[in-house]
Chain A
C-alpha cells in the first residue's frame, strides 16, 4: 500500500502574508531596488524570497521591535516611519519583561520551610497586573510596548533610524544576542526578513553582503580575532590586516531544531550526510578556520564511516596543525580531518597565505602545534587535535549526535551510582515552591543519562520568537530563565526546545483553584523549566542534594571538567 503526497518544499510555509502588490512595492524600494534580480536563480528568485521569506510589520509609537539580549532569526528594513535604537547600557530589565532575580538571604532561604505551597504551581494573579511590560494584540502578533516612551527618550541616549536602513542582521545571521533594544518612534512599517531569505540576499546581492560584512568587520571581528588563543600575541596592526583578509562563511541551518527529532530517527550515516562539510579530509588546507558561532564536528575516515574526534565551538580553530606543518617543512600535507557543521555554524576563514605571513612567524613556541605524526595508512599523518576530549568514543558520538554538546549546564546522571532516591527532584521542588523543574528521566548514553532538565544551551533556540521576551538570559550568570510575570503561555519556547525541557503548566490560586482566562475560560498556562536555582542561596539544589555523587550539571564544552567527572 502506498500513500503519495506532494514533496515538501522550501516555501510551503511562508513567513507571512505578502501580496503581489506588496512585493512590487518592495522591489521599487531602496535598497531592494538596487539589487540585481538577475543574480538570483529561477528556483529562488528575488521576488520569491520577498514573497515567502519576508513580511511587512506595522508598529505604533513605543512598540518594541527587538530587545537587547534576545535571540532572533530575522532582520528588519525600515520601509516608512522611524525607529529608535537605545544606546549604552540599554533599558532597565523590568521594562523589557526581564526577571529581576534576587538571590535569597539565609532567612529567605530558611523561610521556604513554611512559605512553600502544598498545592502545585500556585501564583498570585495580582502580580500579573503590576508588571512594567504592556502588551497588545496586533493582527495575529503580540506586541510589547513601552508605556512611557517619551520618558525613555529623555533618560536614554538613542539613535533614530529611518527608511532604507537595515538593522538586526548580524544577530540574525550569527545567532548572537541582539546588542540593542529597538522601538518604534512613530507609526512605522518594517520589512522583517527571516534568516533563510537574508542568507540568500546576502549571498546574491553584493551591496547587501558588503554592507553586512563591513558592519561585522567594524563591530566585532577584531575583538573575535583578538580573543582567539592562536592570535592573541599579534599586534593591533596585524589583527587589522588579518581582519581585512578574513572571509565569512555560514553552513547548515539556523532552524536546525525543527528537524532535530526527525534526524534522531535516522542512521549515523544519514545524519552525517546532512551535515554540510566545511573542510574535508585529504583536501588542501586553504586557511585557518575559526568558529564564530555554532558547533562543528571534527571527524576522520575509518573504514566506510567517519569517527568523531571532537567537537568545536565558538573560539575554537581548525587547520592550524596542517598549516604550521606545511610552513615549517615546506611539504603540502592535506587536511587530516573533516570539519562538518552541526546544525548551524558561522566560520571565519583566514587564507593560508595570510596565516603564513602574519600568524605563524609570530606564534610563540608554546603555542606551536606539535609536528604531525606518521600514520599507518596511506595518508601522511595523524595530527593531534588541540581540543580532543578524552572521552569514550561511543559517548562522544552520542553527545554529538544528540546535540547535547549544546548544554552549558546539562544534567548528567551516572546510572551506576544513582539509586533512584529522588532527593534531587525533592530538592528542586523545595527550591521552586514545591514544583520540581525537571524530570529524572531522559535519553541514555551508555552508563549516563541526560535528564530532562534545561541545559541552558549555548545556542538557546527556545529564546527565538518569545513575543514578550519573558525567556531570556540572566544578565550576570547567563542562565536561561523565564519571567513568570510576563510569560503569556504561548508555548513558543516549549515547542522550540529540541530536548523537551520546557513544560507548560496550568497555574492555580492560593486556594487551589485553576486560574482561567476571563474571556475563553481556558486555563492560563505558564512555561516552566530549570533556572539553575538562580534565586537560591546555594546552587544548584539538585546537584547538591545527590547523596551518591551520581549527578552533575556540566558544560559540555568544558572538557577538563567533563572528563574529570566522567573518569572519577
Chain B
C-alpha cells in the first residue's frame, strides 16, 4: 500500500480510537456523578491551543520542532477530533447567552473554514496540475497585462492590415472588460467549462461575417482569449487557496480571548468555583 494511504488510514484509525475513548470516558465520568463538561472543556482548550500553534511553528521554521507536514497532519486530525469534543462539551443543548453564542459561532466558523480548506487543498492542486503550466500567483497580473498588450497590438494591427474596424469594435464591445481583470471566478471554481464554451461560441459567431484576413487575426485573438481564460482559472483557484486562510487564522486567534473569558466565568460563577 502506498505510503500516503497508509498514513491516512493510520490517522483515521487513531482518530476513531480517540473518539471512542472520549465518548466512553465521558460516560464513565458521568457515572461517577462528576460534571463531564469540565474535562471535555479542558481537552477542547488544549486541542485548540495546539491547533493554533501550527501557525507559530510555520514562523519558526529554523527551529527543530518537527516538519510542517507532520504538524499539518496532527492539525488536521486533532481539528476533526475537536469537533467531537466540542459536541461532547456542548451537549445537545443550544448555546445560550451572548458569550456562549459568540463562542459557538466563532468555533463553528473556524471549523467550517478548516473543512473548506481541506476540501480546497485536496481538490484544487490536482485540477491546477492538469491545466497548463504552474504559475506564481503574484505574477498573474503581469501575465494578464502582457496578454492584454498582445491582443491590443493585434487589434490595432487589424485596422491597417484589414482596413476594417470590425475587430476593433468587437474588442471594445466584448473583450475589453474581459482582458481588464479576472473573470468568471465562481464558474472556474465550480469546475464549469461554460466560460470556455461561451468564449469559443462568441468568437465563432463573429468570425462568420469576417474576411479571410480578419479571420486570421481573429484566430490569434481567440488563442489569447483562451489563454486569458486559463489565467482566470489559475487566478480563481490560487485566490481561493490563499483566501480561506484569511478567515480561518484570524478567527482562530479571536477565539482564544473568548475561551479565556469563558473559562474565567465558568470558574467564577459556575459549579467549579
Contacts and interface: CB of A to CB of B under 8 A. Distances in A.
Interface in A386-416: 415-416
B72 to A, nearest CB: 4
Contacts of B69: 546-549
Contacts of A546: 67-69
B3 A564 contact: yes
Interface string B136-153: 110000000000000000
Contacts of A148: none
14 contacts: A415-B128, A419-B121, A423-B61, A427-B68, A533-B62, A537-B62, A538-B62, A546-B68, A547-B71, A548-B69, A549-B69, A564-B3, A567-B2, A568-B2
A417 B4 CA distance: 12
A447 B3 contact: no
Nearest to A542: B61
A431 to B, nearest CB: 5
Given A449-B134, A547-B71, A548-B69, A415 B64 contact: no
A86 to B, nearest CB: 37
A568 B129 contact: no
B62 A416 contact: no
B58 interface: yes
Nearest to A440: B136
Interface in A471-503: none
Interface in B46-81: 58-64, 67-69, 71-72
Contacts of A440: 136
Contact of A444 (B59, B68, B71, B133): B133
Contacts of B3: 564, 568
A112 interface: yes
Contacts of B128: 415, 420
Contacts of B129: 415-416, 447
Interface residues of A, number: 39
Contacts of A564: 3
Contact of A568 (B4, B60, B136, B241): B4
B125 interface: yes
Contact of A544 (B2, B61, B134): B61
A113 B67 CA distance: 18
B2 to A, nearest CB: 6
Interface string A348-369: 0000000000000000000000
B126 interface: yes
Contacts of B86: none
A419 B71 contact: no
B238 interface: yes
B174 interface: no
B241 A544 contact: no
B124 interface: yes
Contacts of A568: 2-4
B61 A426 contact: yes
Contacts of B133: 444
A568 B238 CA distance: 25
B242 interface: yes
Contact of A548 (B58, B60, B72, B136): B72
A423 B58 contact: yes
Interface string B220-260: 00000000000000000010011000000000000000000
Contacts of A548: 69, 72, 121, 125
B242 A430 contact: no
Interface in B67-119: 67-69, 71-72
Nearest to A535: B62
A548 B67 CA distance: 10
Nearest to B69: A549
Contact of A547 (B62, B72, B242): B72
B137 A420 contact: yes
B62 to A, nearest CB: 5
A237 interface: no
Contacts of A447: 129
Contacts of B126: 416
Contacts of A104: 62
A44 interface: no
Interface string B1-27: 011100000000000000000000000
Nearest to A429: B61
B241 A431 contact: no
A538 B63 CA distance: 7
Contacts of B61: 423, 426-427, 430-431, 541, 544-545
B98 to A, nearest CB: 36
Given A423-B58, A548-B121, A109 B63 contact: yes
B134 A109 contact: no
Contacts of B134: 415, 418, 420, 441, 444, 449
Contact of B68 (A113, A415, A417, A547): A547
CB-CB nearest 6 A-B residue pairs: A427-B61, A415-B129, A547-B72, A549-B69, A547-B68, A568-B3
Contacts of B68: 423, 427, 544-547
Contacts of A567: 2
A21 to B, nearest CB: 56
A426 B126 CA distance: 23
A316 to B, nearest CB: 27
Interface string A418-461: 11110100110011000000001100100101000000000000
Interface string A541-566: 10111111110000000000000100
B4 A431 contact: no
Contacts of B62: 104, 109, 112, 427, 430-431, 533, 536-538, 541
A419 B129 CA distance: 10
A146 to B, nearest CB: 36
Contacts of B59: 113, 430
B138 to A, nearest CB: 9
